[in-house]
Amino acid sequence: MELLTVLAGISSCVTGIGAALILLLRPVREALTGTKHLREGQKCLLRSNMLHTYYKNREHSAIRQYEYENFLLEYRAYKALRGNSFIDRIYQEVKTWDIIS
């Protein structure tokens, strides 16, 4: 019984140390590989493309089907990269537009 208590204590320490290492390694890995900058650049490009599509079609409140599909894919990628809520309002508006085949 005492052995099980010791093993439980050791396993909880190992789990805690492992979790701490994971939390510490991610920022270090991002700093060394530059993936944070790549992610920020991708978000910027996605946001720029979505805004271009929005302002191009805003006057008529209509969007071509391929543009709409691209907009949806860009929006999903933008949110997966933890993009902010700025685009959410635009996304909600674009969803109400007429889709031209």
Q: Do 44 and 17 share a structural domain?
A: no
> In which element (H, E) is residue 99 found?
strand 98-100
Q: Do 96 and 65 share a structural domain?
A: yes
Q: Do 6 and 47 share a structural domain?
A: no
Q: Do 67 and 46 share a structural domain?
A: yes
Domain interval for residue 25: 1-33
Task: Return contacts of 45-54, CB within 8 angstroms, 24+ apart.
Answer: 46/74, 46/77, 46/78, 46/81, 46/83, 47/78, 47/83, 47/86, 47/87, 49/74, 50/74, 50/75, 50/78, 50/87, 50/90, 50/91, 51/90, 53/94, 54/90, 54/93, 54/94
Residues of the chain short of pLDDT 50, as ranges, are none
The pTM of the full predicted model, rounded to 2 decimals, is 0.70
pLDDT at residue 33, as a whole number: 77
